Chain A
């Protein structure tokens, strides 16, 4: 399975600011995904990021709030813009595995907005 790293692992940010989260994988992958996990909740897909195309956002998530870059097959970033306390969550990236629908996850970025 792929080895995935995320930076930063955690951060405390002030409202109104933006944070960019990096996701690096040790092998080339076609599909990368960004999820939000609010406190005590399950995972909610924010967007799918395929290299060479614009990210596809899920209902309730917009590019202005969560811009995503996917410059190559091993790297992606998610920016959380104009943050509010409601953005306090764990943000996880994942990558497509060898099996259909299979995904491998990074360790997550724990974001607290004050």
Chain B
């Protein structure tokens, strides 16, 4: 069964530092992968997605992610973190087909940004 693992429950970085959030997936075929962000008291916002093609995908808010099939990973990166990036980040993989299409979410990584 498809699954997503986010090994880091909580990450703390200083403002201006670089960021990498890890995501590992388990899926037999080419996965459809997503990163979402949830700010406090908010719903989820789609940051970026990978379906096929270029393995480095650009998203909103200066985020990017790289798909590495050999490592079953889809890590999220940002070169310079802003205080407003403090939030919870969820990696997700698409599964099922037709009317049964759905997303499976990882457990999330809470990001704290220090001034």
Which residues on A are within 8 Å of B, measured CB to CB? 1, 4, 31, 33, 41-43, 45, 48, 50, 53, 56, 92, 94, 96-97, 99-108, 110
Whether A101 contacts B34 in the complex (CB less than 8 A), given A33-B102, A42-B107, A43-B105, comes out as yes
Which residues on B are within 8 Å of A, measured CB to CB? 32, 34, 36, 41-46, 49, 51, 90, 94-95, 99-103, 105-108
Q: List 21 A-B contacts (CB under 8 A).
A: A1-B46, A42-B105, A42-B107, A42-B108, A48-B99, A48-B100, A56-B100, A92-B44, A99-B49, A101-B94, A101-B95, A101-B101, A101-B102, A102-B34, A102-B46, A102-B49, A103-B46, A104-B46, A105-B36, A105-B44, A107-B42
B43 near A92: Cβ-Cβ < 8 Å: yes
Measured in the bound complex, the distance between the Cα atoms of B99 and A31 in whole Å is: 8
Which A residue's beta carbon lies closest to that of B104?
A45
Tally inter-chain residue pairs, CB-CB below 8 A. Answer: 57
Interface of chain A, main secondary structure:
strand
Closest A-B pairs by Cβ, 8 of them: A101-B94, A105-B43, A105-B44, A107-B43, A101-B32, A43-B105, A42-B107, A42-B105
Measured in the bound complex, the distance between the Cα atoms of B80 and A49 in whole Å is: 40
Q: What's the minimum C-beta distance from B91 to chain A, rounded to whole angstroms?
A: 10
